[in-house]
Structure 1
Amino acid sequence: MHKKIILIDVDGTLVDYEGKLPKSATKAIREARANGHKVYICTGRSEAEVYDYIWDIGLDGMIGGNGAYVKDGDKVILHKKISKEETKHIVDWLHKRGLEFYLECNSGLYASENFEEKGEVTIREYASRKGKDSSNMTVRDAFPDMIFGADLYREDVNKVSFILSSYQDHLDSIKEFPELKASTWGGAGEIALFGDLGVKNIDKGKAIDVLLEHLGESLENTIAIGDAKVDIPMLEKCNLGIAVASGGDEIKAMADYITDAVNEDGIYKAFKHFSLI
């Protein structure tokens, strides 16, 4: 069997929305790598949010920031960032609108002045939509290593996420920052909870091209596993696209194969089904 390059989304795919990593997923990845396959996470997270318990699985590297960052082993292949000037513009604009936010950097997540207090309601709503018991959840529960009180005019920013007071905030961000990619998350359309701003003209699929060129590997040997709309470019790019059963309808409709949910050993079962282990 040709050795495969396997790309796995993190939230909702590798781990559940409480951050729990099934033992079966760890077992599957370690066995696949022992069989000569390479395994990379492909996530919206910045490297600061890839905690030790994920790296301890044993991974070959990562694609982060939804495609803005590519790392093979210890070698950074690609890192597209928002400039310090653009970051200052974003921070000032969000402050002027009274919106709380955090900067997503590889060195950490840097919160605005009142994010911990004002973000609690939004974080609980986001968690409840994912089926979690969120009644006592705090911002520090959701983001255990978040940094408060730091200088927000930074030059190492991958993305900026901000709490929407209404969907109009997102629409206005598109007009205000035409040179950046404006998106939402935490719900579709009017029910979205967060807006975000990141580097334009990047996605998970384009980042896979960068990784494969570096590795000297072919697309025909690629497998992608995801659960959300943002993962669709990854599944479209790879030769085999797998969605988890707990994922969204859009990605399941276009996937080549649907495995079980993350908490039902979905990764392990997919690896078994395709003889990776």
Structure 2
Amino acid sequence: MKKIIFLDVDGTLINYEAKLPVSAEKAVNMARENGHKVYICTGCSKAEIEQRDFRTMKLDGMIGANGGYVEDQGEVIMHKSLSKDDVKAIVNWCNEREIGFYLEANSGMYINDYYIKQGPEALAKYVLGKGKKIDDLAKFKAESMNQYIHLQGEDLYRDDVNKVSFVLRSYQDHLDSIKDFPNLVANTWGGKDEQALFGDLGVKGITKKHAIEVLLDHLHASKEETISFGDAKIDLSMFECCNYNVAMGNGGKQIKEAADYITDDVDEDGLYNAFKKLNLI
């Protein structure tokens, strides 16, 4: 039976320095040559994915924004975004608290004034917390900002935003976001052992699980055909609806406990080794 494979991106398909292991690229291309379908299933929006260097790797489509966007063979199957009023409320909430944020849209990633200083610091903690080294910290921080577009004032009140990520000064910011935005879904993500470095706010009811179900319906496919790969608790909803689930060796405790199989770390050919074990290649 040909499989439909869902891959988380950061920490699964690519490492925490946003680099694609050669073995992972090879595994994906070989699996597709064998007739399997491969989709990324990520918290990233399309603009962020388009900045990744996937070299010669080809995909059948993507689920983005933690399930808010579904694409198959270039066709948009589903797209749920925040209302302009919700975006305005989040922007004002963050600015009043002097919290740096970025608006995640398919057209780009848009930041406020505070993110210019807070963003690079948080991103460095993210990479270092995952066990990676940063040889030139100043260079890393400068280059980390190249992916963003700086906007001010009402230009940040956009109607094309999938979700909003913001730097956590403390965990209380996340708890406050839950209280202040009950109509939205609030998550956290971050460094070692999933330390909360960022909070995010998105459309309620949107999950990777829901998006996979939408895509399977579009493909007229069944759960029995699915395999998923992840490294973090945000991937648990993906595991709930797939037939077989693989956790990366670098993954957190919760995702490993929920997995059918634990492969090697992302930088130790984890994806390739799992594809081989499961006879996908």
The two structures share one fold, judged by TM-score above 0.5:
yes
After superposition, the Cα gap between the structure-2 partners of 1:184 and 1:108, relative to the gap in structure 1 and judged at 3 Å, is same
Distance 1:139 1:273 in 2: 38
Distance 2:39 2:255 in 1: 20
Gaps of 5+ in 1: none
Distance 2:159 2:193 in 1: 30
Instruction: Tell me the residue number matched to 2:205.
Output: 201
SS at match of 1:39: strand
1:114 Cα deviation from its structure 2 partner: 2.9
Distance 2:12 2:124 in 1: 21
Distance 1:192 1:25 in 2: 27
Matched, 1:265 2:269: yes
Matched, 1:25 2:29: no
After superposition, the Cα gap between the structure-2 partners of 1:101 and 1:59, relative to the gap in structure 1 and judged at 3 Å, is same
After superposition, the Cα gap between the structure-2 partners of 1:55 and 1:236, relative to the gap in structure 1 and judged at 3 Å, is farther
Could you tell me whether the CA contact under 8 Å between 2:130 and 2:191 is conserved in 1? no
Question: What is the identity, as a one-letter code, of the residue corresponding to 1:129?
Answer: G
Distance 2:267 2:8 in 1: 14
Question: What is the identity, as a one-letter code, of the residue corresponding to 1:120?
Answer: P
SS at match of 1:7: strand
Could you tell me whether the CA contact under 8 Å between 2:127 and 2:191 is conserved in 1? no
Question: What is the identity, as a one-letter code, of the residue corresponding to 2:132?
Answer: K
SS at match of 1:136: helix
Percent identity (aligned): 55
1:166 Cα deviation from its structure 2 partner: 1.9
Could you tell me whether the CA contact under 8 Å between 2:126 and 2:192 is conserved in 1? no
SS at match of 1:160: strand
Question: What is the identity, as a one-letter code, of the residue corresponding to 2:230?
Answer: G
Instruction: Tell me the residue number matched to 1:234.
Output: 238
Equivalenced residue count is 276
Could you tell me whether the CA contact under 8 Å between 1:123 and 1:138 is conserved in 2? no
SS at match of 2:251: coil
1:6-35 Cα distance to aligned partner (Å, 9 max, x none): 000100000000011111111111111111
Task: Output the aligned Cα RMSD.
Answer: 1.8
Gaps of 5+ in 2: none
Question: 1:78-157, aligned counterparts within 5 Å?
Answer: 78-134=78-134, 135-136=137-138, 138-149=140-151, 151-157=155-161
TM-score between the two structures when normalised by the length of structure 1: 0.94
SS at match of 1:118: helix
Distance 2:202 2:142 in 1: 24
Deviates more, 1:181-190 or 1:256-265: 181-190
Deviates more, 1:163-172 or 1:10-19: 163-172
After superposition, the Cα gap between the structure-2 partners of 1:41 and 1:220, relative to the gap in structure 1 and judged at 3 Å, is same
Distance 1:222 1:124 in 2: 35
1:123 Cα deviation from its structure 2 partner: 2.1
Distance 1:114 1:235 in 2: 36
